[in-house]
Amino acid sequence: MTARAVTDATFEQEVLKSEKTVLVDFWAEWCGPCRAVSPILDQIATEHSDKLDIVKVNVDENPQLAMKYQITSIPAMKVYRGGEVVKTVIGAKPKPALEADLAAYLA
């Protein structure tokens, strides 16, 4: 299972109205660190699919979402629960560090 793309049009339904906790990866094609963290997020998505949905938002293709959630540097990962941002992680990190940041949502 890999992280699926969401857009301005699908964000509300897939993230804000989701029953599950959702991690949104705000990224761009040209961003090296974004490409580095992507396979790590795919692994976490596969290993914890029962607890956490992971989706991606391309900030170049969805500038309204990037503005709304004040994305000023990428990769930026925001965890949503019940339609609210409950955690923000900025920058590419190795898998153990990301799992530590997300431990409260993976348990």
Q: 40 and 98 in contact (C-beta within 8 Å)?
A: yes
Query: Is residue 74 among the annotated active site residues?
Result: no
Catalytic residue among 3, 34, 41, 76: 34
Q: Which of 6, 24, 31, 37 is catalytic?
A: 31
Give the 3-state secondary structure of residue 95.
Answer: helix
Which residues are paired to 22 by β-bridges?
53, 80
Active site annotation includes 31: yes
Active site residues: 31, 34
